[in-house]
Copies of this chain bind each other. A is one copy, B any other.
């Protein structure tokens, strides 16, 4: 015999399938004595529910979906994703909710997966990451009527729940600090230009120019890879009017930038201050250690999971959770600019 079904149990105990179902799901309709016998036999026969059969009846899938439209090869590089995943798992696994993970080519494929998984009752809800500037995914998810939470900035995601940090405020706090140190030439090695938070950070920097009397404030977009981070840094440091401080949109790029500075003979922090927009083990263990905007990505994952579970439990609820703005953790890579040495010195 293959795996036992409730019919097998029913036969063995001498009751109907219905009674077994009631007993196993802890609902009224059977006497305590019968329930005990049924549970006993179920244990004995090593019975386990068949979630597909349950799902057919419209029950929860006890799983959430995370579809990522990025080249799979970049996932491993960014500590952010791994941390987020960890945080999500920590929270979800407490409720025995699994995660369905898939990496796809682009947003279009992503939407198709949303469709498929939704109509197949494969998951109870989705986590949407990397919100873009004009993002077709919001409308698609809303149309499907499936619970979902957007990880990203405020507003503009229709009726979907969201968890977000204030990127603008965070960027402003960095620039304020650098300006207070005396920096007037601040550069920004940004992430993918299509992402909303990239745009928001770039705008925040631009908006600071007048307010803080900056001389220069350029943002160079990249693809988040260490290679492009290094290349952007080389570009910036090769200019006639070299920036005295560079803000990186990720820790990996900041690290790469630090490497380039070393290779070009630019000392950090004396000649160049470096700030990373994400914190992880990386920024702590380098020499000099890197000043960064620290947010607890692991905790963030937990919050995202929380909101999603909430929305799944009560689809009417609309939550917008603003997480704490990343705090600036000052380490050894930032200092006042060396006066008079602002020009090319390669």
* A89 to B72 CA separation, bound complex (whole angstroms): 7
* Interface check A234, CB cutoff 8 A: no
Q: Is the CB of B120 within 8 A of A51?
A: yes
Note all chain B residues with C-beta closer than 8 A to A282: 255, 282
Chain B residues closer than 8 Å to A119, beta-carbon distance: 3, 48-50
Q: Does A214 contact B (CB under 8 A)?
A: no
A101 lies within 8 A of B104 (CB): no
Check A86 against B73 for contact (C-beta < 8 Å): yes
A99 to B75, CA, bound (A): 15
A98 and B282 alpha carbons, distance in the complex (Å): 30
Distance between Cα atoms of A256 and B286 in the complex (Å): 9
Q: With a CB–CB cut-off of 8 A, which chain B residues contact A63?
A: 100
Interface bits A76-117 vs B (CB < 8 Å: 1, else 0): 111101111111011011000011111110000000000110
Alpha-carbon distance between A303 and B110 when the two chains are bound, in angstroms? 25
- Chain B residues whose C-beta falls within 8 Å of the C-beta of A73 in the assembled complex: 86, 90, 298
**Contact indicator A82/B76 (Cβ below 8 Å):** yes
A264 at the interface (CB under 8 A from B): no
Q: Does A121 contact B (CB under 8 A)?
A: yes
A180 to B100, CA, bound (A): 49
Contacts of A262-301 to chain B: CB distance below 8 A: 262, 280-282, 284-287, 297-298
Assess whether B98 is in contact with A100, with CB atoms less than 8 Å apart. Answer: yes
Known: A77-B280, A98-B100, A285-B286. 20 other contacts (CB 8 A): A50-B119, A50-B120, A52-B53, A52-B56, A52-B121, A52-B122, A72-B86, A76-B82, A76-B83, A76-B84, A76-B87, A82-B85, A85-B101, A89-B103, A98-B101, A101-B101, A252-B285, A258-B287, A259-B286, A262-B287
Inter-chain contacts of A103 with B (CB < 8 A): 86, 89-90, 93
A298 in complex: contacting residue of B76, B93, B104, B281, CB < 8 Å: B76
- The list of the 3 closest CB pairs from A to B, nearest first, reads A76-B83, A52-B55, A72-B90
* Cβ-defined contact, B287 with A287, below 8 A: yes
A79 proximity list for chain B (CB < 8 A): 76-77, 79, 82
- Of B52, B77, B256, B284, which is within 8 A of A120 by CB? B52
Bound complex: CA A256 to CA B282 (Å): 9
**Are A93's CB and B72's CB within 8 A?**
yes
Across-interface contacts of A116 in B (CB, < 8 A):
48-49, 51
Q: How far is the CA of A102 from the CA of B116 in the complex (A)?
A: 21
Write out the residue numbers on chain B whose beta carbons fall within 8 Å of the beta carbon of A262: 287
Are A82 and B93 in touch, CB under 8 angstroms? no
The residue among A73, A87, A98 with the most chain B CB atoms within 10 A of its own CB is: A98
Known: A52-B120, A119-B50, A287-B287. A101 touches B89 (CB 8 A): yes
Q: State whether A76 touches B120 (Cβ < 8 A).
A: no
A226 contacts partner chain B, Cβ-Cβ < 8 Å: yes
From B50, B83, B102, B256, A121 is in contact (CB under 8 Å) with B50
CB <8 Å contact, B72 and A76: no
State which of B51, B104, B255, B285 has its C-beta within 8 Å of the C-beta of A122.
B51
Return the contact of A89 from the options B56, B98, B102, B259 (Cβ within 8 A). B102
Judging by beta carbons under 8 Å apart, are B52 and A72 in contact?
no
A74 to chain B, nearest CB (A): 8
With A and B bound together, what is the CA distance between A256 and B119 in angstroms? Answer: 47
